[in-house]
Amino acid sequence: MSNIATIRLCNLIFYGYHGALAEENSLGQRFEIDLEYQFDCDRAVNTDQLRETISYTDIYDIIQETVSQNQFKLLETLGNCIIKTIREKYTVFSIRIKIRKPSVPIPGVLDYVEVELSWCSAADDS
């Protein structure tokens, strides 16, 4: 039986230039991100070695780089890019990401808009 680890990075805050409007692309704004991933951690728990796990520091770096070095119109595309990059580098069972945009151009009162994307290896067609 395998040990399955779930690691969560909660309320990460980055500045980026994502959005459908020209002002969002030129002025930028704050984005809040939660990310959860699951993987087989048998080797990590049996060796107690960092090289045998999927370090949350490395995942943080992927998120930070993707948010700050790219520009997307849709939060869905931003989230998909983060998921794709993690999947290309690591063997994971699932990834769930939530991206919150506190400053949205909506003429009303709200805390934020949030997009959630999920990927699971069982749902992968490739």
Residues 6 or more apart in contact with residue 100 via CB below 8 angstroms: 31, 32, 33, 112, 113, 114
Instruction: State the catalytic residue, choosing from 73, 89, 98, 101.
Output: 101
The answer to whether 89 is a known catalytic residue is no
Q: Half-sphere exposure of residue 21, counting CA atoms within 13 Å on the CB side? A: 9
Contact predicate 115/75, CB 8 Å: yes
Mapped onto helix, strand or coil, the DSSP state of residue 84 is helix
Mapped onto helix, strand or coil, the DSSP state of residue 108 is coil
Residues with catalytic function: 101
